[in-house]
Amino acid sequence: MPADTAQVMRDLWQVAKQFKERIAIALFFLILAKVAVVSVPLALKRIVDELSRPEAVLILPVALLAGYALLRFASTLFNELRDLVFSRVTQHTVATYALNTFAHLHALGARFHAQRRIGGLLPDIDRGTNGIAFLLGVALFTIVPTFLEIAMVVGIMTARYSQWYTVILAVTFVIYCGFTLVFTARRAIFQRRVNRLDSNAKSLLADSLINYDTVKYFTNEKMESQRFSHIMDNWAEAQVSNQKALFTLHVGQSGIIALGVGAVMLLAGSDVLNRAMTVGDLILINAYVIQICLPLNALGFVYREARDALVNAEKLFQLLREKPEIAEAPNMPALRVSRGEVVFDNVSFAYEPERPILHNVSFRIPPGGTVAVVGGSGSGKSTLARLLLRFYEVGSGSIQVDGQDIRKVSSASLREAIGVVPQEALLFNDTIGYNIGYGRKNATREQIVGAARAAHIHELIDSLPQKYETPVGERGVKLSGGERQRLALARAILKNPPLLIFDEATSALDTASEQAIQAELDALAVNRTTLVIAHRLSTVVDATEILVMDRGRIIERGTHAQLLQQNGAYARLWQLQQREDADQSRERMRAA
């Protein structure tokens, strides 16, 4: 057994072993079912032999006929009881793996999620969990009973008949297994290619639908269809190649079994003609050969499907082996926020080693104060917020909250202390009430309404037919940008954190919406330590300190008035934005 396969089976056993009693009962029913199956040909032989004797024809062997029927019923009954008992084991194991994968994805770092493709990830998970369910059932209910049945049948035939029967069956078994191993391994190559192309197709489908508006803007529906068609054509060819390999495998397996059965029946027919055994013995041998060959064929099918299941589960197990970028020790102390002071001390950072983002950045946000960071795209502004949230680990230097290095406290307690209003409000495809209530676990309806009032969106919600039960749609598409931003603001208000991050919270809004929401942001920031990542300088004129960044370095710092007096980069940016605002005002006046 390959190392990866052995590891998969060990992992499965770790989850399933809590149901040892159920597994033992299922095995008991399995053995009873196989004993019943193996006993059926013996009963049939006795019936044929009884009816073949002229002196006994007038006496119908009722007991044997009834026993024959009961044995057939018993094999089905015990198999069904086995499946019923074991179903909880299978379903619980699949549910556990699905939950573990879900939790593991949330435990992985921001770098992993920045690189993953959700359209390809979901089918990998789906195929993986289905593969796990198959592997679990196969190990107990196909491989074990098949070998058990073969062993019982071979034992009976060896004890009752010529050794040549055993030799023919053994040779057939060896040739069959060798052929199956070789050709199934070849077919796995095609199956992996099919899976890869299927994941690519799902990724493209999801990406194209997520960007539906962009496709429409540029009238690129035909181009998207052509891209999808190219992948699906390759997928179809891979499936055909896979089917050809499957055809070769099936025909070869059936041919080997046919040769084995033919050899056994020729020998049995010869023994009957030579009076070495009865017609009942011939029927018994025929039944046993079929009983061996059917599970042998099933074993080949199961081996092939198990290899497919392992191929399907590979991506899932690779995902579960993916290590979180930030390995946090267990039982880390919780962050204790007393004053709310935040200090960046000589922080450097790079997403990739060859492309540094921050260079020796140092600043302090006083308790209850506001520090705003401005600068061009790529200057490192938003990276400061991600580092404070510990989505990434600093390369050098440290970040401290009330004197506590955030690397030495639990990430959960750190993030619980921080409220974030992002540039784009990310909403769940659920109701307005759910999205606001997400800011605090077990929030009451009164608290949710209170947060909505504080964000000045309650009146709008109350005017809707479904009020707080109104669905917001995928990513909140049923709401305007300003409405989504107010929901994000209400969510932050409900959380009521001591530390705040506004990451360009109004840059995506029009001027009127920006001015309306800015007042609520300012009210939320009162007496809270706040880091503001700003695009519009007019939103940060009252900040305790303003940092001007360029290429990962702080090039200017001070209050709004001090920076204007320096007549540097901030002053030039301020004058540029003032002219743009004046031009927009004149345009609006002419339009009116």
Name beta bridge partners: 371: 531, 545
Burial of residue 58 (number of CB atoms within 10 Å: 0-12, 13-18, 19+): exposed
CA 248 from centroid of its chain's CA atoms: 34
Is CATH 3.30.1490.100 what the domain over 7-321 is classified as, yes or no?
A: no
Residue burial 218-240, b: 16+ Cβ < 10 Å; e: rest: eeeeeebeeeeeebbebbeebbe
Count of other CB atoms within 10 angstroms of residue 282:
17
> Which residues does the chain have with pLDDT short of 50?
1-3, 57-58
Name beta bridge partners: 586: none
**Dist. CA 509–CA 541, nearest whole Å:** 19
Length of the chain: 592
How do the domains of the chain map onto residue ranges? 7-321, 336-413+537-592
Full-prediction pTM beyond 0.75? Answer: no
DSSP assignment of 253-297: HHHHHHHHHHHHHHHHHHHHHTTSS-HHHHHHHHHHHHHHHHHHH
**Dist. CA 516–CA 486, nearest whole Å:** 10
Tokens of 136: 């679990």
**Same fold? 7-321, 336-413+537-592:** no
Task: Please write the tens of the pLDDT for every residue from 75-130.
Answer: 788 878 877 887 777 777 777 777 777 777 777 766 666 666 665 567 677 777 77
Task: Please write the tens of the pLDDT for every residue from 329-377.
Answer: 778 888 898 888 999 999 999 888 788 888 998 999 999 898 999 888 8
Tokens of 309: 């299941």
Amino acid 588: pLDDT: 62
Task: Please write the tens of the pLDDT for every residue from 434-448.
Answer: 888 888 888 888 888
DSSP assignment of 359-427: EEEEEEE-TT-EEEEEE-TTSSHHHHHHHHTTSS--SEEEEEETTEEGGGS-HHHHHHTEEEE-SS---
What are the angstrom distances between the C-alpha of 287 and each of 21, 78, 82, 253, 365? 34, 20, 24, 19, 85
Amino acid 531: pLDDT: 92
Is CATH 3.90.800.10 what the domain over 336-413+537-592 is classified as, yes or no?
A: no
**Torsion angle of alpha carbons 404, 408, 411, 413, nearest 10°?**
-50
**Dist. CA 458–CA 440, nearest whole Å:** 18
Amino acid 479: pLDDT: 79
**Quick one: DSSP state of residue 322?**
P
**Dist. CA 154–CA 171, nearest whole Å:** 13
**Dist. CA 498–CA 339, nearest whole Å:** 9
